[in-house]
Amino acid sequence: MIRAILFDLDGTLMDHRGAADRAAVAWASGLAPGHPRLEEVPALWRRLEETHITAWQAGECSFTEQRRRRVRGLCTELGLPGPTGTAGADASFAVFLDYYRQRWRIFPDVAETLTALTALGGLRLGVLTNGEAAVQAAKLARIGLADLLDPVLTADLLGGHFKPARACYLHAARLLGLEPGQVLVVGDDVAADVTGPRTAGMGSVWLDRDGAGHPGPPPPAPRISLLTQLPALLTGAPAAGGFPLVPLAPGGGPPPP
């Protein structure tokens, strides 16, 4: 009885990884032209991103501070002098951010999928993302999805809870005015988008874009490699892994709580 779909943003609708990898190399090339470890920069930057964004999400530092830590961390890894003070770190991260923004791209299967889901009728299509609200809003605007997806749910709207905390999904369902079982989460991260939603009673679909699979037992959810495979799951039989679709009343909007 799915009445709303919440899409993850980074890695699901927008190619965050591709943008961040290329931006990090461009930025590091500017800091240290010809540095012998430039090829390693994407992996180094991913690790710093994971460590310090996790710290921000755990409330251990501010959003701005996690950015400064990443800048300093990369300089340390590359043996470069770090930026001077917080202003220097902020200025350095701003250079990365410019490169990153220039590389924001929508995945090529998104538009067709949203059109097909809209054609099914009555489904509310939104976003559930762990990113920072203003950054995520800017991404959606840039890739042309700001007017197509509503609501855009970030931790500041969800009691400060991030995926995969169960409370995050329960808050999201409440904001939609739906029972958790009426909401389907779709995304590329197994913990945040697949197993997490199920702890709250939501449905979930795993988008395994690169077909890399997942260590450990297979996630308890349908797996797709392209978003365009999603509409068929909504009209397919539950026994075949599909989700029965019950459109909203004409006129849209969630039912009364």
66, 55 in Cβ contact below 8 A?
yes
Rounded Cα distance between 154 and 132, Å, is 7
Cβ closer to Mg ion: 23 or 28?
Answer: 23
Under 8 Å between Cβ of 184 and 176: no
Of the two residues 49 and 189, which places its CB atom closer to Mg ion in the complex?
189
CB of 8 to Mg ion, least distance (A): 4
Cα angle 207, 209, 215; round to 5: 75
- Cα separation of 175 and 157, whole Å? 9
The residue at minimum Cβ distance from Mg ion is 11
**Is the backbone peptide bond immediately before 255 cis, with ω within 30 degrees of 0?**
no
Task: Give burial (CB, 10 Å; 0-12/13-18/19+) of 9.
Answer: buried
Q: Is there a contact between 227 and 110 (Cβ–Cβ < 8 Å)?
A: yes
Q: CB under 5 A: which stretch of 138-146, 165-173, 180-188, 241-249 binds Mg ion?
A: 180-188
Taking phi first (over 0 means left), then psi (-120 to 50 degrees means alpha), and beta for anything else, what does residue 252 get? left
Residue among 109 and 189 whose Cβ is closer to Mg ion: 189
Compose the 30-59 pattern: x for residues touching Mg ion by CB under 5 A, - for all others: ------------------------------
Closer Cβ to Mg ion, 11 or 203, answer by number? 11
Task: Identify the H or E element spanning 84.
Answer: none
Q: Is 132 in the site for Mg ion (CB under 5 A)?
A: no
The residue from 124, 158, 188, 204 that contacts Mg ion (CB under 5 A) is: 188
Here's the x/- map for Mg ion, 4-23, by CB under 5 A: it reads as ----x-xx------------
How far is 192 from 186, CA to CA, in rounded Å? Answer: 10
* Window contacting Mg ion (CB under 5 A); options: 75-83, 105-113, 182-190, 218-226: 182-190
Q: Cβ of residue 107: shortest distance to Mg ion, in angstroms? A: 11
Cβ proximity to Mg ion: between 92 and 130 the closer is 130
Long-range contacts, stretch 213-219, CB < 8 angstroms, 24+ apart: 214/190, 219/190, 219/194, 219/195
Least distance in Å: CB of 13 to Mg ion? 9
Shortest spacing between CB 46 and Mg ion, in angstroms: 13
**Nearer residue to Mg ion within complex by CB, 8 or 15:** 8
Q: How far is the CB of 178 from Mg ion (least distance, A)?
A: 22
Nearest to residue 11, comparing CAs of 2, 23, 24, 20?
Answer: 20
Q: How far is the CB of 23 from Mg ion (least distance, A)?
A: 17
- Selected from 162, 189, 227, 234, the binder of Mg ion by CB under 5 A is 189
Give the footprint of Mg ion on this chain (CB under 5 A): 8, 10-11, 188-189
